[in-house]
Amino acid sequence: MRYAVCAVSQSKRRVRFVLALFLLAGVGLVACAAPSSQPSAAPSTTIAPDTAATLCGFATPAPAAPGLLPAPVYFLGSDSQIWRLDTDGSTLSQITHETAPVRYFDVSPANGALAYIVSNMLVCADSLGGSRTLLVQGPTLANIPDDLRLPVEMNRLRWSPDGGRIAYGLNGVNVYDLASGASSILLQNDAIPANLATPTTTGQLRLYSPAEWSPDGSRLLVNVSYYPEGGGLAIFTPGDKSFVPLASPDGLVCCFAAWSSDSSAIYFANDSIGMVASGLWRADAATGNGVTLIPGEASGLISLVAHPYALPDGQLAYFLATTAEFPQTFVPLTMTRSDADGVSNRTALRADSSLPYEALWASDGSGAVIVDRVGQIVTEQDPYLVYGPFVWLKADGSAPVLLPAQGFAIRWGK
């Protein structure tokens, strides 16, 4: 997951730019917020709970050849539809055929079912796109200008590990429960000023969207966007309603985040230098307090870290580069593994390096599918939509495999 932090300008052109980024169906939600005077509307469910629980299930695909990949990869193609790359690493299938772009999607870890947002609706389908079912109808967006849509437009969603709940953004963080068929709001956005020039009297206003459930499903990592500027991450616990912002000893909390395998901590990393320091950190899930594992600058060297992943055995996998030169652009990173402290027993898993915009780690750390920055494409119809080629990198150092797919927002399927 990638998160970025930026300021909200008072120009309408900048607001439209920020809003377009906010609504991107990419790997991470940009932590920026555009203000709006448009009132929010409560979501409404549209299907009986027993039907929803039955239909949002698994459809058995045709048998695939012996697998190159540990699981099929689902992604958004350049056409903004959901696609599936099978485990053989060559069979491509278009899964959704919506008349409008699919903005966000996720795959149920429990049974491979799909949930996605299209035309401001939360929809579920089986793993092959069948049994399409409308779960939540958001407000109608017709005739609402782009810079007034933030409180009424759905954004981002994540399926709980047990497959029973879907967290989604709509004027805050909402959860749809498949067993009951009910949708409820966990965190509601603060009210936004009526226009860009209106000063606030309460300091920074907070706007929320779901980022990632903890592996045990008890907590939810939340993206927090601040008005008028900035952002960060926090942990919300539905059980006791606790809200814990994450803190870093090096400033802003950004940009790639991942839960520890035991749900007790969050790792976060950054591979570029700017508003946010580079390096690797770990924050305690109960207190939010962060510690530096790999400092961005030490002993005359600059460390750049991306895509941390906590392995089941307690070790940590990530992509790392160390350089004595101040980077003017993105630096190629090497697939690396270490103990949980990020330092002990650090080992480069490959002799080559790459520029991973996204990285989807195998659950056992045996490799990762990356969306390569090399060859990225910006579509003419949408300058904020960026996608790239997929590469399978094994942790045994064997030759990289260029996969016959290009897209973004990669997720493992069943």
> Per-residue pLDDT for 193 more than 90?
no
- Residue 51 — pLDDT band, cuts 50, 70, 90? low
CATH of 2-245, one of 2.130.10, 1.20.1250, 2.20.130, 3.40.50: 2.130.10
Percent of the chain with pLDDT strictly greater than 70: 79
pLDDT recorded at residue 230:
81
Confidence at 195, pLDDT banded by 50, 70, 90:
low
> What pTM, to 2 d.p., does this model score?
0.86
What's the confidence (pLDDT) of residue 2?
Answer: 53
**Residue 20 has what pLDDT?**
32
**pLDDT score of 30 more than 50:** no
Mean of the pLDDT values across residues 184-191? 93
pLDDT of 246 over the 80 cut = yes
SS3 labels along the chain: CEEEECECCCCHHHHHHHHHHHCCCCCCCEECCCCCCCCCCCCEECCCHHHHHHHCCCCCCCCCCCCCCCCCEEEECCCCCEEEECCCCCCEEECCCCCCCEEEEEECCCCCCEEEEECCEEEEECCCCCCCEEEEECCCCCCCCHHHCCCCCCEEEEECCCCCEEEEECCEEEEEECCCCEEEEEEECCCCCCCCCCCCCCCCEEEEEEEEECCCCCCEEEEEEEECECEEEEEEECCCCEEEECCECCECCCEEEEECCCCCEEEEEECCCCCCCCEEEEEECCCCCEEEEEECEECCEEEEEEEEEECCCCCEEEEEEEECCCCCCCCCEEEEEECCCCCCCCEECCCCCECEEEEEECCCCCEEEEEECCCCEECCCCCCCEEEEEEEEECCCCCCEEEEEEEEEEEECC
**Predicted confidence (pLDDT) at residue 52 exceeds the cutoff of 70:** no
Interval 82-102: pLDDT, tens? 999 999 999 999 999 999 999
pLDDT per position as a tens digit, 113-150: 999 999 999 999 999 999 999 999 999 888 888 777 88
pLDDT at 227: 74
List, for residues 321-369, the tens digit of each pLDDT value: 999 988 878 899 999 999 999 999 999 999 999 999 999 999 999 999 9
Average pLDDT over residues 265-294: 95
Q: What's the rounded mean pLDDT across residues 24-41?
A: 36
pLDDT of 142 reads: 85
| Residue range 54-65: mean pLDDT, rounded | 66
In this prediction, residue 73 carries a pLDDT of 97
More confident residue, 221 or 40: 221
Q: Is the pLDDT of residue 184 over 90?
A: yes
- Domain borders along the chain are 2-245, 257-353
Is residue 200 scored above 80 in pLDDT? no
- Average pLDDT for 220-243: 91
Region 265-271 average pLDDT: 97
